Each structure stands twice: as structure tokens, then as C-alpha cells.
Amino acid sequence: MTADPETLSPTAAKAEMKLLAASLNAANTAYHRADTPEISDAKYDAMKARLQALEAAHPDLSDPNSPTQSVGAPPAEGFTKIRHRVPMLSLSNAFTDEDVADFADQIRRFLSLGDETVALTAEPKIDGVSLALRYEWGKLVEAATRGDGAEGENVTANARTISDVPHQLDGDVPEVFEVRGEVYMANADFAAMNEDQVAKGEKVYANPRNFAAGSLRQLDPSITASRPLKFFAYAWGDVSALPAETQSGVVAAFADWGLPTNPLMQRFEDLDALLAHYRSIEGQRSSLGYDIDGVVYKVDRLDWQGRLGFRSNNPRWAIAHKFPAELASTILEGIDIQVGRTGALSPVARLAPVTVGGVVVSNATLHNEDYIDGVDANGAPIREGGRLMIGDTVRIYRAGDVIPKVTEIDTTKPRGTVPFLFPEICPACDAPAVRDPGEAVRRCTIGFACPAQAVEQLKHFVSRGAMDIDGLGAKQIEAFHADGLITEPADIFTLRTRLDAGQIDLFRRDAKGRPTNQKSVDNLLDAIDACRKPELARFIFALGIRHVGETTAGLFARQFTSWQGFSSAMTAAGNDPEARDQVVDIDGVGEVMADAVIAFFADEGSIAAMERLMGEVAPVDAEAQSTDSPVAGKTVVFTGTLEQMSRAEAKAKAESLGAKVSGSVSTKTDLLVAGPGAGSKLKKATDLEIETLTEEEWLALIG
């Protein structure tokens, strides 16, 4: 049994959170971009739920770039790209009836509704691929995949070949309306396609979802046209007007316009009836004719959806109630150790290949050496059977986008006899691998002098969320590092000037070592040059500072606006306690993250590498906050009891208007919003002569 997150020490929790995040990120790319998931949806959901529980129990350790805060994976190459005017976000998950009840309670608390009824819609969660259809005056003009949530692939020509997608909507349609839904393939059609593949002596496809995703993303639309794809509409993005004031009303309008909607969608005001509908849909799962993996609930009132708003990667007003996980048993054949960019030694189970949820699985995360030993951070047993042995029969489950997890040992089968001895030296560089007191993770001790860490850091630096250097991927980084062409980020930008005749021959290879032509070399060098002026947030994220994800990097960029401002503040924080406190007080940062960033700017090796890098790049200052809002760019602190909205809603609203919300009062505070019961913060604000507003005055200010 997995240890209760509340009982884990900060170091143990931090180690497990990192391992979960790494596995989830790898799976996201496999599922959303390569269309080749390695584990089942249920397994993925369980790992994500565990990470969310750890983050809730240890908020100071939370990484804003956690997979719990991200959506999908970057768009693939080969298509032009479309920027979503309204981001295409994922949904948070529920796994139990209690989770659903908590969801309803959180809505009431956020909106301060008391016992007022919250009506929810419920509809099957289609296991397909998301598609956004933009209609102007009722005519289909554009179609895009989800991509990374902010930017997707332009698949307009392909979408037009899907019979369920109307080219012209019927009736009185708003001037602009972006319909969102799911492309899928019926099980019978999928079986027929595979039978045809067998008859032709060609490979068969893994499952309908993968086949649908691959079919939609064909560069040749005629191939898409030959595939029997279907579509359900259930949501919307950018619109000029809405045809109703409720979720159910808008979906009803979809049907009137000629869009296919799911007949199992219903509206409920009673939680028991809602859950009964969930179980009814689960009971029909095998007879629906298409794959589903849960039921989606949404707040029906659109004005409440607007007030609830969004977290960084999902709406507060919707949740996916997932079906239980699928388990499989297989043999643990061995354990490998992988070294990450922060030096963590991560054990990975090598398994006898087994099919789980239609996907062949041969690897699974083992988290850390305690997990192998079958104990939690306090030494308490976490599963029956105790320590994992090579040769054990183990149960695993998989979930959509991530590496699978070993859940337990099958003690009814003969036990393995070979113990695994966790290494005390780094397998990549032979340096000591130390496990600090209270830590769950063992780490290599020599930093980026370790080739494995250096390579992983370089991969991160060029990745899409970071510098996004087109054509310079993980395989190229590995090859160029092995050849000695790139050993640190600055080397990437000096390639053009230092490649001699011998080196250019090494450089003229693709990720598989095959020769490439001069045009390919020139294209890559041009792509590198095009990244010499990165956005500040991207650049901060690209540095790979521990605990600093994309969201936090964006927060730092907005807070300090320039590289000089950011680096100077972090350097000062290493020497001045007051400057450190100002970093800690940034809402969303906290002690752990602040100390990680400060340590980065105090490390001599990091400083030297940074100086070399800054000789090659010039990060672009972050744009100033919009002046449309009277609180844009201001630092706001809320204290006391708010009576017209919850604290969470007040904070979300302030941030949506461009304000910076802090948890403490300092000389940097611009406004204090004080409700009844305000205490020490109000006194300090008064002493510092900071402008103080009542809740009513605050609401009047922001309109």
C-alpha cells in the first residue's frame, strides 16, 4: 500500500513527486504526440492522482510545471500550426464517489453558495482525439488539434473529410463559433480496418484511439477520407455569442445546428442520481460501440462557470470521473537505473512484455529504493510481500500517457530469489551517489560533470517548452554530446563559427547516425540562430533550475520583466535576508523553490556557464501588464474574511486582471484588501502606509 502523503517527510515527498512528474511527462509525449501510449488511462490517472495528493499535502514542494498543471504535448511537425484563441485545456480527474462529492462541495465553497443546488451535466468521456472546428457565419473555415493546449496542428483539410463534421451549420448561428469535440472510431469499423490489414499482410493497429489520432493527422487528406472517423461535439472555444445560458442549452443548440452530440448526456441536480447515471454508463460501456474511459461532469450554469474560471491547465467547473484501472500480471526480469538531469537515480522495472489496455508494456517505474524494499519513508510496509525480487510475478496497471507502475507482488505465485542492490555510485560517471538523511532519492554528487546529467539538461534546454530549437531533439543532443560538439548550452550557439571540416562531417548526421545533406545542416543552424532572442519566460524555464516549471518561469518573467531584473534579484537574495523574503513572498513560489533558484545563482559553475550563454543570447523582456485593468501589475494581499466571494475566487479574479497576489505584506505591497477579522497584516499595512480597501471598495475598483 502506498504511504499516506501526509505522513511523508518533505524530502521523501519531493523525491516521489519528481519521479512521478518525469514518468507523466514522458507518457504525455507518447500519447498526445506519437499516438503510442505505453500504459492504460487508469494507470496514468492513478499516477497523476498520487502526484496531486502529494502536492496537496506538501504545497511548498509543488512545481507549477508539474504534469498536473500541463496539457497534452507539443504539436508534431509536418502541419502548419494554429494558435488557440482560447486554450484547449485538460480536465482534472475523480476516481471515487467521494471525489465527485468533493468536487461539488468545492464549487459551493468557491462560489459561497451554501446549500444551494449545483446542477451538473454528465456525458461519456470519449476515448478519442480532441478537435476544434471554427465556424464563421456558419461555415467551417478552420480545424485544429489540441496540440499542447495553446497551439495545435492545422488539420482543416482532413476534418472536412469526416462525414460527421458539417461544412455548413444550420439555423441561426453566431458570427463566430468554435465548436470543440472528440474524433473517434467505432469499434466495428476499427475491427474491419484491422481485418483488411491482415488480409493485405500489413501491420494491425493497437486500438481505436491511436488509429483515429493517426488518421486525423495524415499529411495526405485522402488517407483521412478513407478512414471511417466520427465526431461528437460537446464544448466550445472562441465565440462571438452563446445561444444559451447553460451548458446543456448550448449542447442542445449544437444538435439544432446539425452537429452530432452524445445522446447519453443528461442534467442532474441530485448527486445520487448523477452517480447512478455514471454507473449506468459504465454498465453500457461494452455495448456502446465506441471506447469511453469515464464520465465528464460540468457545472450547467455558464455564469457560474465564468466565476469559477480556470486553474493553469484545467477548468474548476468540470471534472472527469474515470472508470477503474485495468490490471495485468507479468514477471519482473530486472531493474535498470536511469540518471536524470538533477542527478536522481531512478529505478525502472524491466518486465516480461504484457498487454494492458491494448498496449504492450515492458517497463514500469519503481520510484526509489524504498519502493523496491517495500517500505515508506518511515520504514512501514507499503505492500504485501515486502521487498521486490528479480523473478517476482508483479501486478501492473497503465494509464494513457505515462509509464506503468508496479502495484503489488502476486504472492500466490513462486517468489523471485535474486535481490536488487541499489547502486551507491552513479552508473553514468562512477561518482558517489548519496542519499541525504530524510531523502528518498539517491543522487549523483558531481552535477553536470556527470555526462548523463549534462545530456538531460541539454535535452531540457532545447525542448519545446523551453528554447524550442526546431530540429534539435533528444537524439541529436545525445549524438552531438557524444561527439564533443555540444557540452553546455552556450556550445549550441557557437556551432556555426567553430565547425571545421572534420566536425562538419560529424554534424551532418541525423538522430539515427545517417548522413544528411548540407541543406539540413544549414536549416538546423538557422533554427539555432532564430532562438537567440527567446522570450524571458522560456529562457528562465530552459535553464532547468530545480522546481521551476513553465508556469513559475512565467511568474518570474511577469514579476521582474527583464533578465537583468530577475538575475539581480536572485543574486541579491543570496546575500540579503530581506531580498530573499521578497522572493519567497511571491505567490506561487515559497521556500523550497526560492532556495533552489537562489542556489542556482550562487553556484560558481552555473554562473560561469550563464556568462558564456549570455554572450550568445539576449532574452526579450516580458511585456508589461495590460493597462486596461486598474490593478494590472500591482501586488495585492487579501486578509480577513471576505463576504461576497471566497478567498480563492478573489485571488483568481485578481490574477486574471494582471495583479500579483502575495501572501504577506511588505514594502512591495500596493494594495491590501481587508475583510472582517483582519489582524496583523492590516496593522503592518497601516504602519507601512499601504493603501487599504474593504471588499466593497475592491469590487468597485475592479468593476
The torsion angles phi and psi of 293, rounded to 5 degrees, stand at -130, 15
Q: Is 230 helix (H, G, I), strand (E, B) or coil?
A: strand
DSSP state of 320: E
The torsion angles phi and psi of 224, rounded to 5 degrees, stand at -60, -40
List of long-range contacts for 684-693, beta carbons under 8 Å, 24+ apart: 685/637, 690/665
C-alpha–C-alpha distance, residues 613 and 488, integer Å? 9
Q: Which grid coordinates belong to 219?
A: 499529411
Count of CB atoms within 10 A of residue 83's CB? 10
Residue 512 annotated in active site: no
The torsion angles phi and psi of 639, rounded to 5 degrees, stand at -145, 160
Please state whether beta strands 129-136 and 176-185 pair in parallel, antiparallel, or not at all (unpaired).
antiparallel
71, exposed or middle or buried, with CB in 10 Å at 0-12, 13-18, 19+? buried
Please state whether beta strands 433-434 and 418-419 pair in parallel, antiparallel, or not at all (unpaired).
unpaired
Q: Which grid coordinates belong to 422?
A: 541499489
Helix crossing, 451-462 with 474-482: angle to 10°? Answer: 140
C-alpha–C-alpha distance, residues 507 and 505, integer Å? 5
The residue type found at 197 is: Q
C-alpha–C-alpha distance, residues 420 and 79, integer Å? 46
Query: How many helices and strands in the chain, by DSSP H and E?
Result: 26, 24
The torsion angles phi and psi of 155, rounded to 5 degrees, stand at -120, 35
The total number of residues shown for the chain amounts to: 703
Alpha helices, DSSP H, located in 265-390? 271-284, 302-308, 369-373
The neighbouring-strand residues paired with 548 are none
DSSP state of 80: -
Q: Is 297 helix (H, G, I), strand (E, B) or coil?
A: strand
Question: How does DSSP assign 34-52, residue by residue?
Answer: SS--SS-HHHHHHHHHHHH
- From the list 14, 43, 48, 125, the catalytic residue is 125
The neighbouring-strand residues paired with 351 are 332
DSSP state of 514: -
Name the nearest CA neighbour of 409 among 426, 385, 427: 385
C-alpha–C-alpha distance, residues 73 and 203, integer Å? 26
Count of CB atoms within 10 A of residue 231's CB? 23
The neighbouring-strand residues paired with 692 are 672
C-alpha–C-alpha distance, residues 136 and 11, integer Å? 53
Active site residues: 125
